[in-house]
Amino acid sequence: MKKDIIILNENSNIAISTLWSKKEIILNQLQEKIRSKIGIIGTTYTTYGINFILETLAQFPKIDTLIIYGADLSLSGKALIDVFKNKNFRDYKIVFPINKIENVLNTVKIIDLREEFKKNNIKKLEEEIEKNFKTNAKEVREKIDITIEEKVELASWPIPLSGSYIYDTSIFRAWIKTLDLIMKFGSVKFSEYEEPQKEFLNLMITIGLYGKEYKIEEEFFEFLKREDFERHINEVLYPKKSESVDYTYGERIFEHRFGKNQVKYLIDKLSKAPYSRRALIVSWDHLIDQNSSNPPCIIGIQGIITENYYNHTVWIRSNDMVKGWPINIVAQIKLAEYIVNEINRETKSNFEIGTITTISTSAHIYKHDWNLVREILNKYSFKMKEFVEDPKGLFLIYQENDKIVLEHRTPDNSSIDFKIESKDFWEIYNSLKGGSFFSLYDHALYLGKEITKAFEKLKRGEKYIQDQA
């Protein structure tokens, strides 16, 4: 992050923070003779920006007056006053030790004109600059050599993030996207195994099969063992367990001591009522798992039939996304295949698998895998840029007469869901803004690029053709 400041007069003792307001707009409202009396003017968008103010004041020891005049949208102005007047470091992320900047705090006067800004009273700002300006300003403290050192890679995201959606047709590619997300935005915390982990809350991953057979990607076997996939598939599809393990998912879903054969229940329920929302499997055993040191991670499974597709959703309370999730979801695809085949056999139907979705409440990567994940991402991060068809449909953009036409179509291109034509870029932009047209970030970025290109061509009187360089 760079300081958003303009240095106007290095001999002045006046600095101005415009908070969220554009400093150039405020400068342009001031008379020329007033502008020449300002030392530094800059924005302070967030409370973290107070650090940049402290760094700047430490480097300019003549400044003894800081005027706040601007829109306090993020309450950075309120925080600024609290830090300077009350020496409150506790509630804000101040990166400097207090002994380093104490002299700055003690030698700079704060003038709060936030209310005057709301009244658009630029005259009051001019009056305060005139009143506090010193013609021959002298240094009021020694220059302090402090610098904000921002890390390129955060060790931990500063707030816990909850809720993100990844859609793909490839489990391996979805895995790469997941690892990248958690390494960038996961918060570090200890686990009950007393090892640090990076955690992202409530991560939803959907694999869209829509009738296509899934075959496990060979790239997985560079990092995970083929036999671990095969072992877990057997543990899920068969009810028997050895005495050396506390449970298997097969035991819990086929022979649960309370629910009995829950897979058969799900199959029978959807066979009799394909529209049902009550076809559920629960693996948790309240009498055993609440006090267990090794309770099941997969808590529940729900099957829903929509159109001609069986959709399989899995709720996972705790998910090791490096070595657990790929093995979990491959086994769940095999379970879904078994379920849909049994439904088709019982009902003489031809349902196909639609989506396989996992919802991981705690999607995490253990510290002992961080270097492995970096190795995986270094080798395969290019896969995140591969094209994936958006299940929410596609956009056609073309030029008709003197207008740009935008159509949103179903994935098979057979029907138009939304259409707009306009000479005005912003009309089309605002018609899309806030909408729910995209499952994929790159689809939104692509559309923005193409619409911009279309209107540039229209303005120059050139013919626009979609996807053409």
CATH code, domain carrying 104: 3.40.50
Establish if 467 belongs to a structural domain.
no
Establish if 145 belongs to a structural domain.
no
Answer yes or no: do 62 and 24 share one domain.
yes
Answer yes or no: do 213 and 341 share one domain.
yes
Boundary residue ending a domain (359, 383, 407): 383
- Look at residue 2 in the predicted model and tell me its pLDDT: 65
Establish if 449 belongs to a structural domain.
yes
Answer yes or no: do 226 and 316 share one domain.
yes
User: The tokens of 14 are what?
Assistant: 């006046």
Answer yes or no: do 286 and 215 share one domain.
yes
Percent of the chain at pLDDT > 90 equals 80
Which parts of 87-119 fold into alpha helices (H)? 98-107, 114-118
Q: Cα(246)–Cα(104) distance, rounded to whole angstroms?
A: 62
Boundary residue ending a domain (92, 114, 132): 132
Boundary residue ending a domain (334, 350, 383): 383
Summarize the confidence of residues 429-438 as an average pLDDT.
Answer: 90
Answer yes or no: do 455 and 323 share one domain.
no
HSE-up (13 A, CA, CB side) for residue 326: 27
Q: Cα(217)–Cα(299) distance, rounded to whole angstroms?
A: 27
Give residue 405's pLDDT band: very low, low, confident or very high (50, 70, 90): very high
Single-letter amino acid code for the residue at 223? F
Establish if 156 belongs to a structural domain.
no
Angle at 233 between CA 230 and CA 238, to 5 degrees: 125
Q: Cα(106)–Cα(57) distance, rounded to whole angstroms?
A: 12
Tell me if 168 sits within 8 A of 208, measured CB to CB. yes
Answer yes or no: do 181 and 285 share one domain.
yes
Establish if 417 belongs to a structural domain.
yes
Does the pLDDT value for residue 445 go beyond 70? Answer: yes
Answer yes or no: do 167 and 289 share one domain.
yes
Give residue 469's pLDDT band: very low, low, confident or very high (50, 70, 90): low
Q: Cα(443)–Cα(391) distance, rounded to whole angstroms?
A: 11
User: The tokens of 28 are what?
Assistant: 């342009």
Does the pLDDT value for residue 392 go beyond 70? Answer: yes
Answer yes or no: do 220 and 344 share one domain.
yes
CA distances for 453 relative to 397, 399, 407, 467, angstroms: 10, 11, 16, 10
Answer yes or no: do 210 and 174 share one domain.
yes
Establish if 465 belongs to a structural domain.
no
Answer yes or no: do 302 and 416 share one domain.
no
- Calculated CA dihedral for residues 179, 180, 181, 184, nearest 10 degrees: 120
Helical axes 262-272 vs 325-347, angle rounded to 10°: 50
User: The tokens of 2 are what?
Assistant: 């760079």
Single-letter amino acid code for the residue at 205? I
CATH number of the domain where residue 181 is located: 3.30.572.10
243-300 pLDDT tens trace: 667 788 999 999 988 778 999 999 999 999 999 999 999 999 888 888 887 899 999 9
Does the pLDDT value for residue 152 go beyond 70? Answer: no
Handedness of CA 270, 276, 277, 278 (dihedral sign): negative
Q: Is the pTM here over 0.75, yes or no?
A: no
Quote the domain boundaries for residue 410.
394-460
Answer yes or no: do 348 and 430 share one domain.
no
304-346 pLDDT tens trace: 999 999 999 999 999 999 999 999 999 999 999 999 999 999 9
Q: What is the mean pLDDT of the chain?
A: 93
- Look at residue 3 in the predicted model and tell me its pLDDT: 80
Answer yes or no: do 120 and 180 share one domain.
no
Q: How many domains, the chain?
A: 3
Does the pLDDT value for residue 211 go beyond 80? Answer: yes
Summarize the confidence of residues 101-118 as an average pLDDT.
Answer: 95
Phi and psi angles of residue 436, each rounded to the nearest 5 degrees, phi first: -120, 50
Establish if 117 belongs to a structural domain.
yes
Cβ atoms < 10 Å from Cβ of 173: 19
Establish if 192 belongs to a structural domain.
yes
Does the pLDDT value for residue 82 go beyond 60? Answer: yes
